[in-house]
Amino acid sequence: MSDKRLYKSSVNYMICGVCGGIAEYLAVDPTLIRLAWVIFTCLSAGTGIIAYIIAAIIIPS
């Protein structure tokens, strides 16, 4: 069993480090996660913004 945990990134951050933390967790480029998040936000009529705020609150630093 892996001891991988999801944290906000303290290195790859733009606003709160949520996308950087997800990228580090998945071992992918943070730019891909940010691009996917922007596309999700545009297609979901702003739900991505609410999801980002919730993630920024609940994901530990």
pLDDT attached to residue 1: 59
Question: Which has the closest alpha carbon to 19: 28, 47, 46?
Answer: 28
Dihedral (C-alpha) 53, 34, 11, 15: value to the nearest 10 degrees? -40
Average pLDDT score over residue span 31-59: 93
Q: pLDDT: is 45 or 35 the higher one?
A: 35
pLDDT at 56 over 80: yes
pLDDT tens-digit profile of 5-40? 999 999 988 999 999 999 999 999 999 999 999 999
Task: Spell out the residues 6+ positions from residue 37 whose beta carbon is closer than 8 angstroms to its own.
Answer: 19, 48, 52
For the chain, domain boundaries = 28-60
